[in-house]
Amino acid sequence: MTTASSANISDKVIYNRPIKYTDDDGSLVHDYRIPRLPTNYKKVYDNEEDFINNLGCIKLAKEQDLDLAMITLGVADTIKCLESVRGRPTQTQYDLFLDNNLTPDTLVHNSEGEVTKKNSGIKHLVLKNRYELKRIDDGSADGKLALIETKTNLEYLPPKYLFDALMQSHLLNHHLSADGMYRYLRKYYSNASRDICRRARNFCSKCNPSLKLGPFKRPRFKASSNLLPFERIHMEVFKIFNDKKNKHGTVEDKYKYVLYFRDYRSRYVWVYPLEDITLGEILQPLKSFLLISCYNVPIYIESTTIEFQFLEDLVKHTCEMYGLKVGCGGGDLKNFHKSGIKKFKELLKGEKEACLNDWGHILMLVHQYNIKYLETVNGSPKKVLLEVSTKNSSGSRNEQYDNKKKRILDALPANCIEKFSGTTGMYYKEPDGTMIAYDEEENDFVGVGESTMLYYSPPEQDINSERTDGTANEIVNSNDINDDESQAPSKKKRR
Ligand SMILES: [Zn+2]
């Protein structure tokens, strides 16, 4: 055991050792004492009491004569708060990782209904993408197995030990403030968020003598913050109302269909009425969308309801005719697209008569949606569409967009690009192997890298297999149009 060499320990090690800190003004040097956590997260205790009594923070709390019931409550409270944060592994999921037993099936069977057969695939993909099990250097001979968040390369603490880490950090360092705890702990742990540090401090009966606890403020999820407005847009054609007999679903006795666009980043929606779904019918509003409505021409357009070949023809045509540079994206985003269509139809619900009489009424409903606060994007779609979307980047939104588009185009393999002689127009296709997928539960995108494109091979199940590049007779996937309202987001594969 003691001879275990460092070869057993992953290259990317985390040193859980005390560190020196200097105050912001450089005046004082502190020893920050870091929490001591179990060397084996798999250790099973006979009962809850045993588990609690073995926590480092309980021992410290006893020494400092603090209210132990509060500390015990803190453990349960932290697990609960953490589980309300979307996209973070729960304790059960953490255990599945530890046992090397994380599969879509085990996720379903261990989630108490939270994960269903339908969303287990994407949930699995999200977890696998964001976390990996590694042996880390915790000072012990062999190191210990722990979950690492791939993005930050920091340890993701098991939910049941998170509070222990927080409270120890508080008690070992002279009742350190919540922000102080956060400042140090975030260097080690990916799930020691500021909110959870603030919450944890309230369970110290010395610092919170009233023992009052407010509700936990769930951190807001920063949806798709790597995407810029107009970077990716999906374009759909579908029936405005799904009347079986087609009699009562025609707006102004003229428009049966809608051409719908939605920006991924902001969720801003544009709609145009269509009498029919022919190329000529769609081309007109597509032109006004690309040439007038978008202040930046989208980098990628995608669709679920329009056959890929047809979409490509439409986009190519506008690029050639008007000198635009637009590409067709290759993500696995059917769920995202369909949820947009569903939401559009929900907007119209209850106002059918007014909508049938006047297309303007539909425009008004979409306008109201666009200017209303949307939690997932942390603002109204309009506000997010118009503002700089990445806080850390400098430059105006147009510069950001231009730079990003240039980077993306520069990185494209030559066989993905088609240039048109005599114009500045250019059509391109997102390369195969690009992975961007939509996680319905989190309402966010997976695999969106800094440059939008991540070239890595898809996992076992080929996530691009549903792409319709074929030469189907139908221009539009009529199945998607007609029964969209009732169908599950991930409908059976066709063809
Ligand atoms: Zn305290």
Is 489 a residue whose pLDDT tops 60? Answer: no
Q: What is the band of 13 on the pLDDT scale with cuts at 50, 70, 90?
A: very low
User: What average pLDDT does the segment 185-190 reach?
Assistant: 86
Distance 157 CA to ligand 1 centre (A): 22
User: What average pLDDT does the segment 141-148 reach?
Assistant: 86
List, for residues 418-475, the tens digit of each pLDDT value.
988 888 899 998 876 565 667 665 666 765 443 333 332 222 223 333 333 333 333 4
Distance 206 CA to ligand 1 centre (A): 5
Distance 213 CA to ligand 1 centre (A): 14
Distance 231 CA to ligand 1 centre (A): 47
Distance 208 CA to ligand 1 centre (A): 7
Distance 324 CA to ligand 1 centre (A): 61
Q: Say which residue, 219 or 148, is predicted with more confidence.
A: 148
Distance 19 CA to ligand 1 centre (A): 21
User: What average pLDDT does the segment 153-159 reach?
Assistant: 91
Distance 100 CA to ligand 1 centre (A): 38
In the block, residue with structure tokens 């059918």 = 352
**Which pLDDT does position 484 carry in this prediction?**
36
User: What average pLDDT does the segment 44-60 reach?
Assistant: 92
Distance 153 CA to ligand 1 centre (A): 30
**Which pLDDT does position 9 carry in this prediction?**
34
Q: What is the band of 18 on the pLDDT scale with cuts at 50, 70, 90?
A: low
What is the value of pTM for the model shown? 0.54
Q: What is the band of 399 on the pLDDT scale with cuts at 50, 70, 90?
A: confident
Distance 64 CA to ligand 1 centre (A): 10
Q: Say which residue, 26 or 417, is predicted with more confidence.
A: 417
**Which pLDDT does position 159 carry in this prediction?**
92
Distance 191 CA to ligand 1 centre (A): 21
3-state SS, one letter per residue, for the chain: CCCCCHHHCCCCCCCCCCEEEECCCCCCEEEECCCCCCCCCCCCCCCHHHHHHCCHHHHHHHHCCCCHHHHHHHHHHHHHHHHCCCCCCCHHHHHHHHCCCCCHHHHHHCCCCCCCHHHHHHHHHHHHHHEEEEEECCCCCCCEEEEEECCCCEEECCHHHHHHHHHHHHHHCCCCCHHHHHHHHCCCECCCCHHHHHHHHCCCCCCCCCCCCCCCCCCCCCCCCCCCCCCEEEEEEEECCCCCCCCCCCECCCECEEEEEEECCCCCEEEEEECCCCHHHHHHHHHHHHHHHCCCCCCEEECCCECHHHHHHHHHHHHHHHCCEEEECCCECHHHHHHHHHHHHHHHCCCHHHHHHCHHHHHHHHHHHHHCCEHHHCECHHHHHHCCCCCCCCCCHHHHHHHHHHHHHHHCCHHHEEECCCCCCEEEECCCCECCEEECCCCEEECCCCCCCCECCCCCCCCCCCCCCCCCCCCECHHHHHCCCCCCCCCCCCC
Distance 201 CA to ligand 1 centre (A): 6
> Lowest mean pLDDT: which of 54-63, 171-180, 247-256, 406-415?
406-415
Distance 217 CA to ligand 1 centre (A): 20
List, for residues 294-308, the tens digit of each pLDDT value.
888 999 999 999 999
Distance 179 CA to ligand 1 centre (A): 13
> Lowest mean pLDDT: which of 148-152, 174-178, 272-276, 392-396?
392-396
Distance 76 CA to ligand 1 centre (A): 18
Average pLDDT, the chain: 78
**Which pLDDT does position 21 carry in this prediction?**
56
Domains of the chain: 7-201 (no CATH), 232-482 (3.30.420.10)
Distance 53 CA to ligand 1 centre (A): 19
User: What average pLDDT does the segment 203-209 reach?
Assistant: 93
Count the neighbouring beta carbons within 10 Å of the beta carbon of residue 491. 17
Distance 164 CA to ligand 1 centre (A): 14
Distance 184 CA to ligand 1 centre (A): 16
> Lowest mean pLDDT: which of 171-180, 353-362, 437-446?
437-446
Distance 41 CA to ligand 1 centre (A): 26
Distance 177 CA to ligand 1 centre (A): 8
Distance 219 CA to ligand 1 centre (A): 23
**Which pLDDT does position 323 carry in this prediction?**
92
Distance 210 CA to ligand 1 centre (A): 12
Q: Say which residue, 463 or 130, is predicted with more confidence.
A: 130
Is 186 a residue whose pLDDT tops 80? Answer: yes
Distance 66 CA to ligand 1 centre (A): 9
Distance 174 CA to ligand 1 centre (A): 8
Distance 207 CA to ligand 1 centre (A): 4
**Which pLDDT does position 426 carry in this prediction?**
92
**Which pLDDT does position 310 carry in this prediction?**
92
Is 339 a residue whose pLDDT tops 60? Answer: yes
User: What average pLDDT does the segment 281-291 reach?
Assistant: 94
Q: What is the band of 12 on the pLDDT scale with cuts at 50, 70, 90?
A: very low
Distance 167 CA to ligand 1 centre (A): 8
Distance 112 CA to ligand 1 centre (A): 35
Write the single-letter amino acid at 301: I
**Which pLDDT does position 302 carry in this prediction?**
93
For a pLDDT cut of 70, what percent of the chain falls above it?
Answer: 75
> Lowest mean pLDDT: which of 29-43, 266-280, 365-379?
29-43
Pairing relationship of beta strands 426-429 and 325-328 according to DSSP bridges? parallel
Distance 197 CA to ligand 1 centre (A): 12
**Which pLDDT does position 360 carry in this prediction?**
97
Distance 196 CA to ligand 1 centre (A): 15
Distance 40 CA to ligand 1 centre (A): 27
User: What average pLDDT does the segment 104-126 reach?
Assistant: 83
**Which pLDDT does position 411 carry in this prediction?**
76
**Which pLDDT does position 446 carry in this prediction?**
63
Distance 146 CA to ligand 1 centre (A): 28
Distance 414 CA to ligand 1 centre (A): 61
> Lowest mean pLDDT: which of 11-15, 45-49, 442-446?
11-15
Distance 74 CA to ligand 1 centre (A): 13
**Which pLDDT does position 402 carry in this prediction?**
86
Distance 389 CA to ligand 1 centre (A): 38
